[in-house]
Amino acid sequence: MRILVVGSGGREHAICWAISSSPLLTKLFCAPGNAGIEHEAECISIAADDYDALIVFCIDKAIDFVVIGPEGPLVDGLVDKLGNVGIKSFGPTAAAAVLEGSKVFAKDFCIRHNIPTAAYARFDKAETAKAYISEKSLPIVIKTDGLAAGKGVFIAETITQAMEIVDRIMIDRVFGESGKEIIIEECMIGQEVSFFALTDGEFVLPMITAQDYKRVGNGNTGPNTGGMGACSPAPIIDDFLTTKIVSEIINPTIAGMAAEGRRFRGVLYAGLMITDTGPKVIEYNVRFGDPECQALLLLLKSDFLSALIAINDGKITNVRLKWNDDIALCVVMASKGYPDFYEKNSVINSISEIENDDVVIFHAGTSWDRERRLLATGGRVLGITAIGKDITQARKKVYSAINRIDWPEGFNRNDIAESALNL
């Protein structure tokens, strides 16, 4: 089969890496891809949001199946657009991707279907939002309704901070139309877990879980990022919790979406807080997590592409996913300054010698220059990923690889999964 993967991050590298070993594959393309993805796929210079060009490419190259990595194209309806010209793809339609595209929709949906989530209120006027905040206890969480590249969520510790955030979102419109409406919600306390389930819109196939380390600094300090590391499975999840999450959150979500005429096909990623009163939805995503996907796919023993195709063909009940029982860890190396301003185009020296059977380096913001030097072109740049029989072993493999990476302009957290060592 001729496959196109859409996207250019570490998640898409992991997806290409997993698909590249499939017996079903004849040719793999990635649009636009990155320097590392070139190893597994032919990268084509079409942006992930250039939908017309992607469709022309798929028709020209007789693509059989498209796997879409990021949320933007899903929310914009790339699955629908491809479907209109008879091309199959993995992911939800725009009607179903609204679960991530609008936090207002997602929160109201949870209430309609009795799915546990933080108490909240929605506002389209700054004045009423501020009046509400002044009556609530702190800290309080403020979120833009629409997509904001992972930057539209704020945890305000003081009233002044909260008021400033409302002004920036609703008056200054720093997130444009995404900030037309906001959600203000209770701050939940607990451990976060990323829960992934493949689904055809009727049946659900839970995958393994992951824990994402979102803050930029060691000890969970500093601003939120897209994710500085991941550990799979999530250390705090056991069979009891998994069953509870599936029955109280995942199944009602998929059934609710079908009942509302928004049948959800693809991967549902529920961002959960495991609170004292049980698991609650923080947010829904309609695609794999990044860097969770990198850790998760390293543990998958079954053929990934066959599973995606079978699900798309309505044969999900035939799919059995086999997982390695070990632990996988991904530690992200990012450009110094990320998630704020960072310099581009610094040179990363010699990483090919570091990669071996035990350590896989997934690329995100990388490209080659004319002399075939590897350049860092993005915020998150490399995902150093390894499997170990336990967290200690996985950490040892990942961090000893990182110590050998010669990239002075890069940094990483040193404590990914460290807290889990004491569980």
Residues that bind ligand AMP (CB under 6 A): 118, 141, 143, 153, 155, 185-188, 192, 214, 224, 271, 282-283
Stretch that binds ligand GLY, among 195-203, 289-297, 311-319, 320-328 (CB under 6 A): 289-297
Q: Using CA of residue 300, residue 302, residue 305, residue 307, what is the dihedral sign? A: negative
- Residue 91 Cβ vs ligand GLY, minimum distance, rounded to whole Å: 15
Q: Does 292 engage in binding with ligand GLY (CB under 6 A)? A: yes
Q: Does 226 engage in binding with ligand GLY (CB under 6 A)? A: yes
Which does residue 153 bind out of ligand AMP, ligand GLY, none, counting CB within 5 to 8 angstroms by kind?
A: ligand AMP
Number of H helices and number of E strands within the chain?
A: 13, 24
Q: Is 278 left (phi over 0), alpha (psi -120 to 50) or beta?
A: left
On whether the CB atoms of residues 270 and 280 are closer than 8 A, the answer is no
Looking at the Cβ atoms of 29 and 213, the one nearer to ligand AMP is 213
Q: Which SS3 state, helix, strand or coil, does residue 296 take?
A: helix
Which does residue 77 bind out of ligand AMP, ligand GLY, none, counting CB within 5 to 8 angstroms by kind?
A: none
Please enumerate in sequence order all residues whose Cβ is within 8 A of that of 291, keeping only pairs 6 or more positions apart, or say none. Answer: 10, 11, 212, 227, 228, 229, 230, 330, 332, 362, 380, 383, 385
Q: How many residues bind ligand GLY (CB under 6 A)?
A: 7
Among 212, 305, 330, 402, binds ligand GLY (CB under 6 A): 212
Q: Does 12 engage in binding with ligand GLY (CB under 6 A)? A: no
Looking at the Cβ atoms of 271 and 278, the one nearer to ligand GLY is 271
Which tokens go with 53?
């060009």
CB atoms within 10 A of CB 40: 21
On whether the CB atoms of residues 360 and 298 are closer than 8 A, the answer is yes
Looking at the Cβ atoms of 58 and 235, the one nearer to ligand GLY is 235
Instruction: Give residue for tokens 């496959």.
Output: 3
Please enumerate in sequence order all residues whose Cβ is within 8 A of that of 49, keeping only pairs 6 or more positions apart, or say none. Answer: 72, 73, 76
CB atoms within 10 A of CB 343: 10
Q: Does 290 engage in binding with ligand GLY (CB under 6 A)? A: yes
- Residue 225 Cβ vs ligand GLY, minimum distance, rounded to whole Å: 9
CB atoms within 10 A of CB 338: 23
Looking at the Cβ atoms of 209 and 306, the one nearer to ligand GLY is 209
Residue type, 56: V
- Residue 373 Cβ vs ligand AMP, minimum distance, rounded to whole Å: 35
Looking at the Cβ atoms of 50 and 192, the one nearer to ligand AMP is 192
Q: Does 227 engage in binding with ligand GLY (CB under 6 A)? A: yes
Please enumerate in sequence order all residues whose Cβ is within 8 A of that of 284, keeping only pairs 6 or more positions apart, or say none. Answer: 99, 100, 106, 253, 268, 269, 270, 271
Stretch that binds ligand GLY, among 72-80, 113-121, 152-160, 282-290 (CB under 6 A): 282-290
Helices 304-312, 10-20: inter-axial angle, 10-degree rounding: 90
First to last CA, the chain: 44
Looking at the Cβ atoms of 289 and 365, the one nearer to ligand GLY is 289
Q: x/- string (CB under 6 A) for ligand GLY, residues 375-414?
A: ----------------------------------------
Which does residue 292 bind out of ligand AMP, ligand GLY, none, counting CB within 5 to 8 angstroms by kind?
A: ligand GLY
Looking at the Cβ atoms of 13 and 143, the one nearer to ligand AMP is 143
- Residue 189 Cβ vs ligand AMP, minimum distance, rounded to whole Å: 7
Q: List residues binding ligand GLY (CB under 6 A).
A: 212, 226-227, 285, 289-290, 292
